[in-house]
Structure 1
């Protein structure tokens, strides 16, 4: 079994809704410190409050104060999470901010009002898609440049009109930052997807191993207990006949099955620990313990078989021998292990019963378990009566596991 890394309970897979939130910008991106952004935004607002003139309760001072408030709100709003602001609203708010910044440059006679235009242009590149960002930044440059070029307010005396054209340039910085943010998020999403895939693979491996252990438990407990139960029921039935010799024989067989069950339990423990059992020797031992000696035939060039294949072949042999004892008591059993260049083949055949079979309650999972074992190794399993050849009338189980 491959090594499985345990996954702590607090590292469960994220909820599907989390992906949508992350893709919409709800997750912070490394290198994008929100506190630094807040400090910069507040610094621009404070600098404008201290330097922009005129600012008062009447006339042009009132207009400048109103534009300053609008610019400050537009600048501080850039800290709103992207997933909470629809794209259309973001476009409208940034457009309003650009117009207010150009108007503030025109109406104010001094101060740092132009900083609002620069920082808004940078955020346009960060918040909007590239085409929209370039168009709105170009509009910002043309609007601020026109305000200064056509001398639409007293602010044109302090700043040259070319400076107004430069207000849209920071959009390029914003676009670069947005591209970096998307690249980081894509890398994080890829890492999380890989982690989820690894967890799913580990879970699949765990479930597969549980299935294997369930088959082993079934082979050891269900079959052995079914055989023991059959012998005890036979003994109970024979008590009424007064044939004590047959009763003792049934009890002796039950004791033998108990000993065999203990041995099979040891095989299962070895298998679960991935200890490689010798295939031929173990098959011969299984046949001997079931009362069939010198019936194992080995053909082809003997070679080492992978541990998982050995385990499956042993379990299939155990299942077949148990079924033969249950459904064909007294019938001769033969086993053939064939090594071919392409595969390893195990055949177990039993002759028809020579004495009545005692009904027993099986689990019904034996044949299913055998097929599952072989299928996991890419092989095939057939079970049924032989319809031709020297073994006509025998029941045969054949497992073919590719090399």
Structure 2
């Protein structure tokens, strides 16, 4: 008989932060795919009652039947109101009044289809109220309607068997089933929208993470390279006034060398941003040679291919450390150890104290922060600090271990 009722749009699960779907219409909910069918059935029940229920009049029994018919029609039509328009307690009162007047109409009228009001109202009770309240009101409706017919309390009892009155409570099961379907659908919809919001949040996080990675790469290439080139050019400019052309040429050559190194670093950055796989040992060796530290690399363990992200981040840490060594400890000896363990790869870079004085500005402080961020993203560990013992006392050491 179709007792399902449309879940109002106001009750849809809110979609906080999700973008509207292009071309998407109202979401279908079981039992409300065609709400016009429910309205048509309501009109049919009311029209059929007006056409068949007798007597109708303006006095006596006819007036009583007319009043009861009006109350039943209003109670049945109210089932199309959104649930948030009617508080649960008021809905309980309204539906209780509806089934009482439906039973009264069966008893007072002499003929007609007034019993349809009881069937449709009880079916809607299962949709509108909680199961316990629904079953209670359905049992009350069955007892009232069955009692009216069984005890011959009205003129219409001769036309209907009393068992029919008991069956008026049956449609509540259909209503409860539709209510369960609607709630299951709403829960599935809520879960899907929550998953969509989580996916959007994850995508935003991924974008921010990628921006941070690009910022670190730009810092590694531009900040260090340009700082070194600027330092050599300032030195050359200061030496011009002294007339020491040999030292001017030397500073100029170093600046040219740094430009070439910067171009190589830019290529490494492009590889890193494109996530191209670079050979770790060969690239690290080339990096040390271009930095003026030949034979500074020591490899321990069995050399193997490591994941591209591990390679990229270890190379960036090495680049940062070598740049810092050149800036803060010029002339100091550099030693690099690369250890391939069973479950991780460890890079240790140690530089000795400076052997000559070079005027440098204060660093941005982003280098060490960037190294820590890189290692943290890969669940690794990193330590950085001054060397206090041994021949390299007064120098600096960075050690990073990354799983993979």
TM-score, reference length from structure 2: 0.90
**Cα distance in structure 2, aligned partners of 1:228 and 1:69:** 93
Asked if 1:261 corresponds to 2:262, the answer is yes
Tell me: CA distance 1:328–1:391, structure 2 relative to 1, closer, same or farther (3 Å): closer
**Cα distance in structure 2, aligned partners of 1:235 and 1:109:** 116
**Cα distance in structure 1, aligned partners of 2:57 and 2:237:** 111
- Asked if structure 1 preserves the Cα contact closer than 8 Å seen for 2:103 and 2:145, the reply is yes
Q: Specify the alignment match of 1:144 in structure 2.
A: 145
Asked if 1:296 corresponds to 2:294, the answer is no
CA offsets per residue over residues 277-298 of structure 1, 9 Å max, x none?
A: 1111111111111122121111
**Cα distance in structure 2, aligned partners of 1:101 and 1:89:** 18
Q: Specify the alignment match of 1:30 in structure 2.
A: 30
Structure 2 counterparts to residues 44-193 of structure 1, below 5 A: 44-193=45-194
Which range is displaced more, 365-374 or 332-341? 332-341
Which range is displaced more, 227-236 or 138-147? 227-236
- Asked if structure 1 preserves the Cα contact closer than 8 Å seen for 2:329 and 2:395, the reply is no
Query: RMSD of aligned C-alpha atoms?
Result: 1.9
**Cα distance in structure 1, aligned partners of 2:216 and 2:269:** 10
Question: 2:183 is paired with a residue of what secondary structure?
Answer: helix
Which range is displaced more, 130-139 or 254-263? 254-263
Tell me: CA distance 1:16–1:41, structure 2 relative to 1, closer, same or farther (3 Å): farther
- Asked if structure 1 preserves the Cα contact closer than 8 Å seen for 2:31 and 2:178, the reply is no
- Asked if structure 1 preserves the Cα contact closer than 8 Å seen for 2:106 and 2:115, the reply is yes
**Cα distance in structure 2, aligned partners of 1:219 and 1:352:** 23
CA offsets per residue over residues 48-98 of structure 1, 9 Å max, x none?
A: 111111112222212211111111111111111112221111111101111
- Asked if structure 1 preserves the Cα contact closer than 8 Å seen for 2:15 and 2:193, the reply is no
Number of residue pairs the alignment of both structures matches: 383
Question: 2:15 is paired with a residue of what secondary structure?
Answer: coil
Structure 2 counterparts to residues 220-235 of structure 1, below 5 A: 220-235=221-236
Question: 1:49 is paired with a residue of what secondary structure?
Answer: helix
- Asked if structure 2 preserves the Cα contact closer than 8 Å seen for 1:229 and 1:360, the reply is no
CA offsets per residue over residues 189-226 of structure 1, 9 Å max, x none?
A: 22222222222222222222222111111111111111
- Asked if structure 2 preserves the Cα contact closer than 8 Å seen for 1:226 and 1:362, the reply is no
Q: Specify the alignment match of 1:7 in structure 2.
A: none
Structure 2 counterparts to residues 375-394 of structure 1, below 5 A: 375-394=376-395
How far did residue 400 of structure 1 move?
1.3
- Asked if structure 2 preserves the Cα contact closer than 8 Å seen for 1:222 and 1:362, the reply is no
- Asked if structure 2 preserves the Cα contact closer than 8 Å seen for 1:122 and 1:172, the reply is yes
User: Structure 2: which 5+ runs fail to align?
Assistant: 1-13, 19-25
**Cα distance in structure 2, aligned partners of 1:217 and 1:31:** 58
- Asked if structure 2 preserves the Cα contact closer than 8 Å seen for 1:371 and 1:381, the reply is yes
User: Structure 1: which 5+ runs fail to align?
Assistant: 1-12, 18-25
How far did residue 31 of structure 1 move?
4.4
How far did residue 172 of structure 1 move?
1.1
CA offsets per residue over residues 157-198 of structure 1, 9 Å max, x none?
A: 211222112111111111111111112222222222222222
CA offsets per residue over residues 217-245 of structure 1, 9 Å max, x none?
A: 11111111111122222223323333232
- Asked if structure 1 preserves the Cα contact closer than 8 Å seen for 2:52 and 2:111, the reply is yes
